Amino acid sequence: MSEIKQQQSTDPVDSPLIKGALDIDPWLKPFSEELLYRRNLADDWLKKFQEHEGGILNFADSYKRYGFQVNKDNSVSYIEYAPNAVQAAVIGDFNNWEHETHVMTKDNFGKFHITIPPGADGQVAIPHDSRIKVLFTLPSGEKVARLPPWIRRATQPPKEYNNPAYESRFWNPPEEQHYHFKSSRPAAPQSFKIYEAHVGISTPEPKVGTYKEFTNNVLPRIKALGYNAVQLMSIMEHAYYASFGYQVTSFFAISSRFGTPEDLKELIDTAHGLGIHVLLDVVHSHASKNVEDGLNMFDGTDHCYFHSGGKGTHSQWDSRLFNYGSYETLRFLLSNLKYYLEEFRFDGFRFDGVTSMLYLHHGVGEGFSGDYNEYLNPFGTVDKEALTYLMLANDLCQSYGKTIDFKVTTVAEDVSGYPTLCLPRVAGGVGFDYRLSMSVPDMWIKILKHKNDEDWNMGNIVHTLVNRRYGEKCITYAESHDQALVGDKTLAFWLMDKEMYTNMSVLSPLTPVIDRGLSLHKLIRLITHSLGGESYLNFEGNEFGHPEWLDFPRVGNGDSYHYARRQFNLPDDELLRYKFLNNFDAAMNKTEEVYGWLNYPQAYVSLKHEGDKVIAFERHNLVFIFNFHPTNSYTDYRIGVETPGKYKIVLNSDREEYGGHSRIDEEVSEFYTTDLPWNNRKNFFQVYIPNRTALVLAPA
């Protein structure tokens, strides 16, 4: 603590605790005192954890102590935090739901304790996978049964029960049913190419897919496409399937509708064996309002883990908001992260709803101009407790990674552009590795929705793709999973919805609509991939232009699963044109794998020609040329390059296997530079670039 005070007593600009951030962005200097103050908020928590818990890693080991724990002697220990309750008892199938047989003891810190001895046969007294709850007596005398927050298994009861509320289960499979990991975690790639997926929809059949089906059918597809990471959505248990996993009810239970915890472990282990990283889409920004099978009103109050009153409710999401300044809330959330890292061997996290967490207004009805006062005004709208939690979450991930000699990756879903979000904690940042470039998919939808092809503005496209903070890495994507939902349109739908059901067969003539759609779909993905960030993300199905939206079963559609699926059979059908987009996606990823452009310094854009509709840029010794013109092809088109020599085509969107017209004879296409300046580059070469075509060239 004295070290922190000493740092505060000197000029904050000179503090080594934030110097790295100020070196990267000198415009932060007027806010150095506030940056230092915010860093110290998190550092003070670290000191507290060190003094009282033995450090943040031990603090996050609380999942091994709280909830139900099976001891070596087959007794079961149970600890639960419920400060408002006056009495508690364990009830379940094991004791015929009697509330007087297993009464818990309450300590002075609001925690209830009990140890349940083994049965007469020496075995665990609570049967594996049996139903179990905790029964509280409230100060009013009312008795309420709740699902334990730390429970590791929750399942939906049979339909004949006529009660949709999930049931908590005591998960303690026998040793022979445990999954044992075989593969080590693959080293973090230099550039992430992420396949975002939802297990339940990952099957062509109108049903809920399983972990095992994903392991057997989808992981090989992801590998073949050239992705080196998979980001799994909707894993944390959510009672309402149509919430897309964003209304979590049980944070330590993985979704039972997809299978068992052992099945998920097998999925992750198999991915590791294929060299694929596995990221978890973690929802710590809010929680379901469910009382019967969620955290809400757990101990009879609205503030056990959440803020009370209006501050604890998200008006638009109709959900509960965590109190990140609470010691026990931090215990719960940080332990939740370590649980998934350690027990399931996830390689990192994509934190959902970071914008909502960062601001007291949760981003509702707010625009962000980029003025630093919006983020760093000491009296502004930033929720400093939530910001502190995000710093601590990154501290935990990095500290855990060091114990296993592995880089845990963290990604922030933030639309606000909060400065220092993706700078290391040691440099004075929040600590994330990447933020999502959420403005890019919005740009493409606006262009397709409101602009004719001849009106596309090359300068605006480039500006949106390169407009990111220096020194803070971004994951770029051409379309988001939200755009796949019913009521919106994917890129493929915006481009081809009039003919996707009638003219995608190779046996039918190629129509202008389908030709345009296939061509622009490839160009949009490649320019986003190569110019927009340091990593790339694709939502499953978009790689081949999935023809239907995503609509989960709900009352409004008669609980239909017809649109809650991905039709992977389409790109596998040699008679359908979906295969062309799928082939190009694989070629795009594999070209990057061989030659590299992601995670390299931003490209130098030498050309943004509005009349010709041509964009050209260089990144990591590669030359990218895009002709977006709807009709004009150009012969001997001059492209400025910095490095002289001979160049060859390594990716051509006009190839026949990508649904193109094979207008370029690559066998004879060699390009030699001329030693004359062009477009502010020292050299140039000349190429043939057909309309709606992209080329990638590398030194030969």
* CATH number for 352: 3.20.20.80
Mean per-residue pLDDT, 404-432: 97
Closest Cα to residue 472, out of 437, 518, 507?
A: 437
Contacts of 284 (CB under 8 A, 6+ apart): 322, 333, 336, 351, 352, 357, 389, 393
Claim to verify: residue 309 and residue 374 sit in the same structural domain? yes
Backbone angles phi, psi at 591, to 5 degrees: -65, -40
pLDDT tens-digit readout, 612-651? 999 999 999 999 999 999 999 999 999 999 999 999 999 9
Domain's final residue, options 177, 208, 238: 177
pLDDT tens-digit readout, 511-549? 999 999 999 999 999 999 999 999 999 999 999 999 988
CB atoms within 10 A of CB 472: 23
Residue found under tokens 């809920």:
208
Q: Residue 587 in 3-state DSSP?
A: helix
Domain count, the chain: 3
The Cα-based distances of 630 to 257, 461, 613, 691 in angstroms read 47, 16, 9, 6
Is there a domain that residue 454 lies in? Answer: yes
Claim to verify: residue 206 and residue 234 sit in the same structural domain? yes
pLDDT tens-digit readout, 352-398? 999 999 999 999 888 898 899 999 999 999 999 999 999 999 999 99
Is there a domain that residue 521 lies in? Answer: no
Is there a domain that residue 571 lies in? Answer: no
CATH code where residue 149 lies = 2.60.40.10
The Cα-based distances of 523 to 229, 581, 609, 691 in angstroms read 23, 11, 16, 11
Closest Cα to residue 250, out of 217, 296, 219, 306?
A: 296
Is there a domain that residue 586 lies in? Answer: no
Claim to verify: residue 48 and residue 129 sit in the same structural domain? no
The DSSP code for 232 is E
Q: Where in the sequence is the domain holding 41, given as residue range(s)? A: 2-60
Q: pLDDT at position 10, please?
A: 60
Give the range among 13-27, 84-98, 133-147 with minimum mean pLDDT.
13-27
pLDDT tens-digit readout, 9-64? 467 888 999 999 999 999 999 999 999 999 999 999 999 999 999 999 999 999 99
Q: Which residues are catalytic?
A: 352, 413
pLDDT tens-digit readout, 585-602? 999 999 999 999 999 999
Is there a domain that residue 529 lies in? Answer: no
57 and 64 Cβ atoms separated by less than 8 Å: no
Region for residue 477 given its phi and psi (left: phi exceeds 0; alpha: psi -120 to 50; beta: otherwise): beta
CB atoms within 10 A of CB 430: 29
Claim to verify: residue 219 and residue 141 sit in the same structural domain? no
Claim to verify: residue 137 and residue 38 sit in the same structural domain? no
d(Cα 393, Cα 333) in Å, to the nearest integer?
8
Is there a domain that residue 431 lies in? Answer: yes
The fraction of the chain above a pLDDT of 70, given in percent, is 99
Domain's final residue, options 12, 30, 60: 60
Is there a domain that residue 656 lies in? Answer: no
Q: pLDDT at position 591, please?
A: 98
Q: pLDDT at position 498, please?
A: 85
| pLDDT of 2 over the 60 cut | no
Distance of CA 333 to the CA centre of its chain: 17
Backbone angles phi, psi at 121, to 5 degrees: -85, 5
Domain's final residue, options 556, 586, 603: 556
d(Cα 264, Cα 152) in Å, to the nearest integer?
13
Claim to verify: residue 137 and residue 237 sit in the same structural domain? no
As given in the structure block, the two tokens for residue 698 are: 């590398």
d(Cα 39, Cα 189) in Å, to the nearest integer?
29
In angstroms, what is the C-alpha Rg of the chain?
27
Claim to verify: residue 318 and residue 374 sit in the same structural domain? yes
Closest Cα to residue 339, out of 532, 597, 151, 546?
A: 151
Where residue 1 falls among pLDDT bands split at 50, 70, 90? very low
Closest Cα to residue 472, out of 440, 430, 444?
A: 430
As given in the structure block, the two tokens for residue 156 are: 């939906």
The Cα-based distances of 694 to 125, 300, 485, 520, 585 in angstroms read 66, 61, 29, 10, 13
Contacts of 14 (CB under 8 A, 6+ apart): none
Is there a domain that residue 446 lies in? Answer: yes
520 and 580 Cβ atoms separated by less than 8 Å: no
